[in-house]
Structure 1
């Protein structure tokens, strides 16, 4: 016994594709690329932080403080 087949296309395919990206979906990666490219061209403009502790150590310390507050 054969099963009936569907000859109609899927409803999502019949309409035109109307996918539109928001303006920032293209603008933000473009700005990030330009900023990184500018740092490659002129690395003297890339200033390191001059604080006493590295940023990672400050981040870990802050995370520990937040975890102890939740107890």
Structure 2
């Protein structure tokens, strides 16, 4: 006859669930965002800029704010 085994109780932390992210979990999305933002704001790379002029003015204002 086999005996039932009881699962080991898990220790309960005082702060609840703790999650530790690696350094690249924040660095890679930030780097991707900055790279895409610089591609959008660089007017030299806008070869086919035949869209809404209001959007171009908005991006120009954002670029001026970011560059100082």
TM-score (norm 2): 0.42
Structure with greater proportional helix content? 1
Higher relative contact order (CA 8 A, sep 6+): 2
TM-score (norm 1): 0.40
